Structure 1
Amino acid sequence: MLLVLTLWQALSQALAASGGSHWTYEGSDGQTHWPERYPDCGWQAQSPLDIQTDLVQYDSSLPPIEPEGYRDPGSGSLTLTNNGHTVQLSLPENLRLHGLPSLYSAVQLHFHWGSSNSRAGGSEHRVDGQAFPAELHVVHFNSEKYANLSVAKHQPDGLAVLGIFLEVDSVENPAYNHILDRLDSILYAEQEVIVAPFNVRELLPAHLGHYYRYNGSLTTPPCYQSVLWTVFHQSARISATQLEKLQKSLYSTKDGKTPSELLISNFRVPQPLNQRLVFTSFPVGPSEYSAGEVIAIIVAVLLGCLGVFLAGWILAKRSRNVSFGNLSTHKRPYLK
């Protein structure tokens, strides 16, 4: 059995390698056809997911995510690339994640977004069917166990990806301008530009303690099922103008190729859960209270109602006593 699995994995990797990077999100090479060229894309633990909050399982032992080096990535320059599928920023390995089963080092971050002409959203993950305008992914490899990304991506515990939903706010987010202001230099596929180091932590939500956690895959070919996903409950915010830069600036085609194709709607649709569990680091429910907190609230409400009842009963009793006293006074017999 082990031999069969090993041979199947080797075959999958060979097919993925021979397939190159010729894939798209729609059309004859679109995501519905990915498994034909990249077999892992048809396996049973694929990403992204539509996270159904009534099915998640609360795990109080999940610690907050603690980024290391994110605020000061060093003096080395970063490379921003239009790879034809997304805009990707290289990250140095001194950016690490604590709070996971192993120590993971950063590799790159990239975005997924929709179209300005569509209301279908642009995020890959969804929550209870809700899609967000865009999603940021920060990719890491297990540097505690493996030498590099090339080795780690084939291992079940090789990768860890942070998923951050992007929502539209009335004001711009200056941290994202380090990336978005350079898009005009990488309009076409395979173009790249150097970006000065900046505070990467500011791209993430302020609160990193509340998140969804599950085992899944890369959301693009070859779709290796080696990713420990952390999808944050709190979103990051950018302005409508910043979102439009993603939706309207880049092309998926090379410079000089006609017709030029706008790089839009680069998100994979949600995949089947297939018996997997999605855990949360925070209580999830209609009011997001834990069972103990719900019981405490119910007891408090009952005690409050009892107090109101007793107060009303005492006031009613006093009122009856006063009325009886007045009635007794009016009915005294007339004395001559």
Structure 2
Amino acid sequence: MFLTLSFSLQVLSQAMALTSGSHWTYEGAHGQEHWPETYPECGLQAQSPINIQTDSVQYDPSLVPVEPEGYWDIGSNFFTLTNNGHTVQMSLPQSMRLHGLPRMYSAVQLHFHWGRKGTADGSEHQVDGRAFPAELHVVHFNSDKYANVSEAKHQPDGLAVLGVFLEAGNEENPAYNHILEQLDDIKYKEQEKPVSAFNVRDLLPAHLGQYFRYNGSLTTPPCYQSVLWTVFQQPARLSDAQLQKLQRSIYSTAEEDTPPVLLADNFRSLQLLNQRVVFSSFPTGPSGYSAAEITAIIFGVLLSCLGIFLAGWIVAKRIREKRMQEQKGVVFTSSSRRAVAD
């Protein structure tokens, strides 16, 4: 029991290391526009999140499906769920790993970003300008090269994050209840609760082979540009009641602070792509064609139509000219015959 508790505290400490430092908020005097003043990397050129524009992503057939390991076979007896004042965060053991990336990555924590009830915004990433009500991030560090997340977090190849869009559906998602049903026990900042281990794979979309991939940053201070992002194309679906539970249950203030401040709209504004390339593991155009292929097809069809139009116009012109010549011949012949008769 002591070893399990010690291990969980170690993992939690590593998870908190990602967002430790001076006070910051999403709005106000310490809001997003002021982050670079305290955290210089927040003002650099390879920041996250971004708007993923499917007509400009580059299809890369070498991108293989993401393969989680140990997500469903958890060695510890519980996770630690925490309200850190910025989000709901759950520690994860390093025995959870990812295959299918350039390196082996081990899990650190997962957390959420969300908006307010009745609004479409909430996710950090967007696709073609479309936002989702919420987004799940599962954070991993490069365990092939680094001993822990504290060592890896500021290295260019240090982190890998899975991004999962959350959208409203007609049915309840039982996997998310492992977390959402505990929120009343961590209403206030710095409160935490042990959560019985469960199959974390069930939080992810059913299909892990279709995703967008790009190099970016942490979306919260210190904004280290060390993240290999994998944003899944398929969202996970929660019921309206589940989404509202996330949107309306948590405060960003401590229990003794009054009045309590609802924790919502904890998503960073979109960042410029700045010449970075977003790759996709699947063709993003309809009928299996990429955006570039679709453009080439449309251009080819237009040229073909133009060619057909010009050919038709030339044929019609020649037919008209021929008919005019024939009519002139008939008139000339008739005139000649009248002249002879006279």
- Residue 149 of structure 1: CA displacement? 0.2
RMSD, aligned CA: 2.2
In 2, Cα distance between equivalents of 1:70 and 1:251? 29
Partner residue in 1 for 2:23: 22
Paired residue type of 1:71: W
Indicate the structure (1 or 2) with the bigger Cα radius of gyration. Answer: 2
Query: Could you report, residue by residue, the CA deviation over 1:110-143 in whole angstroms, capped at 9, with x for unpaired residues?
Result: 00000114x2410000000000010000000000
- Residue 73 of structure 1: CA displacement? 1.6
Partner residue in 2 for 1:314: none
Matches within 5 A, 1:79-228: 79-117=80-118, 119-228=119-228
Query: Could you report, residue by residue, the CA deviation over 1:181-228 in whole angstroms, capped at 9, with x for unpaired residues?
Result: 000000000000000000000000000000000000000000000000
- Residue 74 of structure 1: CA displacement? 2.0
Paired residue type of 2:123: S
Residue 146 and residue 286 in structure 1: after superposition, are their counterparts in 2 closer, same or farther (change >3 A)?
same
Partner residue in 1 for 2:3: none
- Residue 177 of structure 1: CA displacement? 0.3
Asked if residue 239 in structure 1 is aligned to residue 228 in structure 2, the reply is: no
Aligned with 1:140: secondary structure?
A: strand
Aligned with 1:247: secondary structure?
A: helix
Partner residue in 1 for 2:328: none
In 2, Cα distance between equivalents of 1:50 and 1:161? 16
Residue 291 and residue 54 in structure 1: after superposition, are their counterparts in 2 closer, same or farther (change >3 A)?
closer
Asked if residue 74 in structure 1 is aligned to residue 54 in structure 2, the reply is: no
In 1, Cα distance between equivalents of 2:182 and 2:286? 42
Paired residue type of 1:171: E
Paired residue type of 1:141: F
Residue 110 and residue 291 in structure 1: after superposition, are their counterparts in 2 closer, same or farther (change >3 A)?
closer
In 1, Cα distance between equivalents of 2:229 and 2:21? 25
In 2, Cα distance between equivalents of 1:55 and 1:293? 12
Paired residue type of 1:25: Y
In 1, Cα distance between equivalents of 2:116 and 2:143? 36
Aligned with 1:116: secondary structure?
A: coil
Paired residue type of 2:236: A
In 2, Cα distance between equivalents of 1:221 and 1:291? 35
Comparing 65-74 with 271-280, greater Cα deviation is found at 65-74
Aligned with 2:224: secondary structure?
A: coil
- Residue 257 of structure 1: CA displacement? 0.3
In 2, Cα distance between equivalents of 1:288 and 1:32? 41
Aligned with 1:138: secondary structure?
A: strand
Aligned with 2:272: secondary structure?
A: coil
User: 5+ residue gaps in structure 1?
Assistant: 1-15, 299-336
The TM-score normalised by the length of structure 2 is: 0.79
In 2, Cα distance between equivalents of 1:32 and 1:50? 18
Q: How many residues align?
A: 281
Partner residue in 1 for 2:289: 289
The TM-score normalised by the length of structure 1 is: 0.80
In 1, Cα distance between equivalents of 2:287 and 2:219? 31
In 2, Cα distance between equivalents of 1:291 and 1:50? 16
Runs of at least 4 residues of structure 1 off by over 3 A?
290-294
Paired residue type of 1:109: L
Aligned with 1:40: secondary structure?
A: helix
Give percent identity, aligned residues only: 72
In 2, Cα distance between equivalents of 1:230 and 1:179? 22
Paired residue type of 1:77: F
Matches within 5 A, 1:241-280: 241-280=241-280
Aligned with 1:54: secondary structure?
A: coil
Aligned with 1:161: secondary structure?
A: strand
Query: Could you report, residue by residue, the CA deviation over 1:268-313 in whole angstroms, capped at 9, with x for unpaired residues?
Result: 011000000000000012444359997xx99xxxxxxxxxxxxxxx
Residue 51 and residue 259 in structure 1: after superposition, are their counterparts in 2 closer, same or farther (change >3 A)?
same
Residue 21 and residue 181 in structure 1: after superposition, are their counterparts in 2 closer, same or farther (change >3 A)?
farther
Partner residue in 2 for 1:47: 48
In 1, Cα distance between equivalents of 2:64 and 2:202? 20
User: 5+ residue gaps in structure 2?
Assistant: 1-16, 299-342
Aligned with 2:208: secondary structure?
A: coil
Residue 41 and residue 262 in structure 1: after superposition, are their counterparts in 2 closer, same or farther (change >3 A)?
same
